């Protein structure tokens, strides 16, 4: 059975690196299967449309509203978040790369308070502070659909682990944050992730390459209420 659309297969064809191509195909098929289960629509019948900045959303099906969702991939891992129709939801997962100059990235790209916070924590915690802030920022931007078209230094997220993960204090965005939920996720060793959603999230799923296979070993549910 063919699950992907012609457009998705064309996109896969354009991915030159075979591992990336296979990851895209399987991760997109898994997305369709998850969304099919939420909507009672056959996975191959689901139609996506892209927002102005490329965020995919489901088209309504036979007049029915469809759930909101967002996906993130990093280093063989895919995370999927599903929310009620019309809700904004964003998710970001990052493999913790130790060799990049993450302190330099924070100084150049984060809000000044965020960069200062990272340099102020004990050295062995800095990398985790960096990735925690990074994923919170990107999850929020993905929820809005604007992604990295918004400069990362235009807003400031909370930095401490746990609890309500996020607030925004610049550019008039603070008000917009009321009614949102933020969550730090630890999907598996070596990765960090964050979720940002208007209201609560209905489902959260993880897919991971294990050798040759891509599976959903730990489908997990959690709520952002």
Ligand X SMILES: CC(C)(COP(=O)(O)OP(=O)(O)OC[C@H]1O[C@@H](n2cnc3c(N)ncnc32)[C@H](O)[C@@H]1OP(=O)(O)O)[C@@H](O)C(=O)NCCC(=O)NCCS
Instruction: Measure the CA dihedral 117/165/27/43, to 10°.
Output: -160
- By CB under 6 A, tell whether 149 contacts ligand X: yes
> Interacting stretch for ligand X, rule CB under 6 A, among 50-58, 60-68, 125-133, 178-186?
50-58
Quick check: helix, strand or coil at residue 197?
Answer: strand
The binder of ligand X chosen from 56, 105, 121, 126 (CB under 6 A): 56
Report the b/e string of 139-154 with b at 16+ CB within 10 A: bbbbbbbbeeebebbe
Please identify, using beta-carbon distances, which residue of 115 and 143 lies nearer to ligand X.
143
Site for ligand X in 84-123 (CB under 6 A): 90, 92
Shortest-Cβ-distance residue relative to ligand X: 147
Residue 208 binds ligand X, judged by CB under 6 A: no
Contact pick of 20, 42, 54, 174 for ligand X (by CB under 6 A) = 54
Among 25, 30, 43, 72, binds ligand X (CB under 6 A): 72
Among the listed residues 167, 147, 149, the one whose alpha carbon sits nearest the alpha carbon of residue 159: 167
- By CB under 6 A, tell whether 7 contacts ligand X: no
- Given a contact cutoff of 8 angstroms between Cβ atoms, the answer to whether 197 and 213 are in contact is no
CB 50 → ligand X: shortest distance, Å? 7
The helix, strand and coil proportions of the chain, stated in percent and rounded to the nearest 5, come to: 35, 25, 40
| Out of 71, 77, 166, 193, the residue judged to bind ligand X by CB under 6 A | 71
Q: Which is nearer to ligand X, 76 or 163 (CB)?
A: 76
Closer CB to ligand X, 70 or 192, in the complex: 70
Contacts of 154 by beta carbon, 8 Å cutoff, 6+ apart: 111, 170, 171
Task: Identify whether the C-beta of residue 89 lies closer than 8 Å to the C-beta of residue 71.
Answer: no
Question: Is residue 36 within the footprint of ligand X (CB under 6 A)?
Answer: no
The number of beta carbons lying within 10 Å of the beta carbon of residue 63 is 5
Contacts with ligand X by CB under 6 A lie at 27-28, 53-56, 70-73, 90, 92, 138, 142, 145, 147-149
């Amino acid at each position: 059975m063919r699950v992907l659309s012609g457009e998705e297969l064309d996109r896969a064809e354009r991915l030159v690196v075979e591992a990336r191509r296979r990851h895209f195909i399987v991760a997109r098929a898994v997305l369709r299967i998850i969304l099919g289960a939420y909507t009672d629509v056959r996975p191959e019948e689901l139609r996506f449309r892209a927002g102005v900045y490329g965020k995919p959303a489901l088209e309504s099906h036979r007049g029915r509203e469809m759930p909101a969702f967002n996906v993130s991939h990093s280093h063989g891992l895919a995370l999927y978040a599903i929310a009620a129709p019309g809700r904004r939801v964003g998710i970001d997962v990052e493999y913790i790369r130790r060799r990049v100059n993450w302190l330099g990235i924070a100084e150049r790209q984060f809000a000044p308070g965020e960069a200062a916070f990272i340099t102020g924590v004990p050295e062995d915690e800095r990398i985790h502070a960096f990735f925690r802030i990074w994923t919170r920022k990107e999850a929020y931007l993905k929820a809005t659909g604007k992604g990295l078209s918004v400069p990362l230094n235009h807003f400031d997220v909370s930095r401490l682990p746990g609890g309500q993960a996020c607030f925004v204090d610049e550019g008039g965005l603070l008000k917009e944050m009321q009614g949102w939920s933020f969550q730090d996720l630890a999907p598996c060793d070596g990765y960090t992730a964050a979720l940002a959603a208007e209201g609560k999230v209905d489902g959260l799923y993880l897919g991971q390459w294990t050798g040759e296979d891509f599976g959903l070993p730990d489908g997990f549910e959690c709520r952002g209420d």
